[in-house]
A and B are shown apart, each in its own frame.
Chain A
């Protein structure tokens, strides 16, 4: 009988879900289970599957071509403009994400929403006369190497891009991120995404950047088709070119200009790092240790002597089990798993991670690596049973009373005494190891010496090892690497045939296996033996306890967040500077709003450049302190690291503190007054009799601006957020009446200005408010008014201004006073202005009365 063969699935184009309504609205249901979208599961960012930015564009493209043409998108040359990606859409294996795509017929404005929230917006239109993109000439020669696909994605992975499957479309990329080759796999989404990937590699950063904006994107589908026909069918790939100066990426008929990406916070790494110190520990006895460290030593000794990936640990309950410490010790070791059992008579016991066996008997336990029991030394019958339950060379941890007299201790038959560990819990742990039954042969001692430049010991060891066990020893060579070498050798097959003796004590007798001193130690059968400071022991990893005591510090320290975006991780850190090389001791560090923005991650550290070296210790750019070289009290503005204890050299923006001020007062001055004077005298020029609206009048800059503006004879209007602040402003500045103070939380101040100025508006606005309040502030300006913008929010988000406002001949000034700090040597003009302000400020500080002269000058 003939049957259809259904064993294979084939793609077929289905038109029914491509039907479009006249409004240009379509619904896309995304699920990773569908064949069409399955490839999206390769777009993994920081461990999560996100809908790639280019997938949104593909949906717009499909919808657009259906509106005007047919389902074949390739025939429609398109141009996207002002695309914004507002939020990421998360895909999981199970969920279905519904994207609603809407394109307006008249304007081509589009938006994509997901469950009511806006995901992506922009404008799309057809290109009337498609011209192939202007080629970018990239220098073919570069000191940067070409990276293979594997290396390219390794680097991206370190940054948090875990691309899989078809998203690994970059075949080759040059290290400078200007040139590469992209595989063509008949998938526009991955192809365009690869263009964005190339862009990433050029920045020296470990931050995770996601595209947030694209100014223009042109797609010439037909061109790609033509180009495809010209290249051989197997290994279809396109060259990609990037130009940073033109801000363009071009690849096979697609051109992306003005790509902006913003850093996103990485999820914290899943594990907590294990912090340990590595030090020599004598065994008979060890110094007093915490029970946690004591457990670690037992477990580590076991791993060193009889390695096993699976450990079986049993404790006989005495009411206060210590097994959990062993659980932690095992979990801190890589690759090793443990099984933990507690034999108890108490039915109530329930400890997570441990099998509690009520009325469990040791007889029923076999192949144990550890048995932990209390007060059993001297009870030989117990040891006979334990010996049966242990693996070969397994351990018994005896919890004994701390008064135990070691010299009187009777070693149970068939066990070796490995270590005696007094703990801080008034207990002694006696570690016993079951003797090895098997005899491997008489070991051959071979000295490993650094002086032996011919490495003759190596050949000897090789020959000896092929016949039987070997003792490798090193004596009186402090820097011998024998411990690490034997550690590696013991991990090889038959590694247990190698024993190490490291004699790091000049008083020890020359190594000789017949000498009783060595004979006794070797009879214990330990893989690694170290003799140091007159005692036998080993090197062990102990817990590194963080120094968390508050102490006065004389070394350099600085304040920073451990995790960006998490204020509770604000801490002081040991800094890189040497206090003796530093000229300045900081007494007071100011905190400015910008620091809060940096610490909370709302302002990216990338403003300090993409170089990661510049991105550490960035908080704080104002302080008051003491110059040790000159003995003067100073106040200053610095580019970074102002929250700290020391500054190396005086910065250009530095002043001596006037006699009458305390350092505490001085710390409040530089940033606010520099900003205000920069705005009032460099960006514009204020004049007597003019009017000004100063927002957030109770903040630092607000107060300083009001003071200066009033001093120069301006009419001041201001805003603040609470009645208390309003009262404060009125108390501080009796010249300002209640009717001149508006609310900074809404736009009602616009009415206040209209009312107070009879509709004329003000001459200046010093603005720090954002969005609708910014636009309302602009409308407060009168004819030829000046807008002084000190906030960064609207600029950073590229919000729009209506040009109609400028019919009043107004001027918009971006006042970014911190720009003076960053590149003073390259932006000479600004920096000289900086000095000019400085000059002016010094005059002002030195005598209050000099304002007369200043005022006169600014009037001309």
Chain B
């Protein structure tokens, strides 16, 4: 037994595992493969060709809007139902400084709750 272990140490113990690679556009296939439980070792997704490639492998991308945390966004009429939801959505997408304006000011407790 001792002999076997020694042999293993010489070979190095922490060794990479067997791996199945999927190209970036086959993300779904990779998840299903792992979820199916038929794999041995690890499942990975290749994002770019090699370390120094500036761009990724070709993929379809869903566009998303992001807001800049260092800018102030003004939403006129932002205390209405739509305005509050818009502010909520913008905050989730990165906006940190929002200015909501309204002709009536804070007129009900719901607005107060959402702003808090």
Chain A interface residues (CB < 8 Å from chain B) = 143-148, 150-151, 154-155, 175, 546-554, 557, 559, 562, 567-568, 570-576, 585-593, 595-596, 599-600, 612-613, 616, 625-626, 633, 643-645, 661, 663-669, 672-673, 698-700, 703-704, 707-708, 710-713, 721-722, 725, 728, 735, 841, 844-845, 848-849, 851-852, 855
Contact = CB atoms under 8 A, between A and B. Distances in A.
Contacts of A151: 108-110, 113
Interface string B7-49: 0111111111111010011011011101101111111111110
Contacts of B103: none
A849 B10 contact: yes
Q: Which of B50, B51, B94, B112 has most chain A Cβ within 10 Å?
A: B51
B71 interface: no
B47 A645 contact: yes
B19 A550 contact: no
Contacts of A668: 16-17, 19, 41-42, 44
A848 B21 contact: no
Given A573-B62, A588-B44, A668-B42, 5 more contacts: A147-B113, A175-B116, A572-B59, A595-B31, A710-B4
Nearest to B22: A591
A145 B116 contact: yes
A728 B35 CA distance: 20
B116 A568 contact: no
Contact of A703 (B9, B41, B55): B41
* Dominant secondary structure of chain A at its interface with chain B: mixed
Interface of B: 1-2, 4-5, 8-19, 21, 24-25, 27-28, 30-32, 34-35, 37-48, 50-64, 66, 91-94, 108-110, 112-114, 116
Contacts of A725: 40
B13 A589 contact: no
B57 A596 contact: no
Nearest to B45: A589
A722 B37 CA distance: 10
A790 to B, nearest CB: 16
A735 B3 CA distance: 11
B33 to A, nearest CB: 9
B47 A644 contact: yes
A702 to B, nearest CB: 9
21 contacts: A145-B113, A146-B109, A548-B60, A550-B60, A552-B56, A553-B55, A554-B56, A557-B56, A567-B35, A571-B62, A576-B93, A585-B51, A587-B51, A591-B31, A591-B34, A591-B43, A613-B91, A645-B56, A710-B4, A735-B4, A848-B11
A849 B46 CA distance: 32
Nearest to B11: A848
Contact of A713 (B5, B30, B32, B110): B5
A711 B5 contact: yes
Contacts of A599: 31
A713 B2 contact: yes
Contact of B44 (A155, A591, A612): A591
Q: Which of B34, B53, B113 has most chain A Cβ within 10 Å?
A: B113
B39 to A, nearest CB: 8
A664 B44 CA distance: 8
Contacts of B54: 554
Nearest to B112: A145
A613 B92 contact: yes
A552 B42 contact: no
Nearest to B66: A576
Given A175-B113, A568-B28, A588 B14 contact: no
B6 to A, nearest CB: 8
A547 B61 contact: yes
Given A645-B47, A664-B19, A591 B60 contact: no
A585 B14 contact: no
Given A645-B56, A672-B42, A711-B13, A154 B62 contact: no
A841 B14 CA distance: 8
A384 B62 CA distance: 50
B58 A590 contact: no
Nearest to A588: B44
B7 to A, nearest CB: 10
A573 B64 contact: yes
A620 B46 CA distance: 13
B116 A669 contact: no
Given A575-B64, A590-B44, A567 B109 contact: no
Contacts of B92: 612-613, 616
A741 B87 CA distance: 57
A848 B10 contact: yes
A585 B48 CA distance: 9
Contacts of B51: 585, 587, 625-626, 633, 663
A599 B29 CA distance: 13
A205 to B, nearest CB: 12
Contacts of A145: 109, 112-113, 116
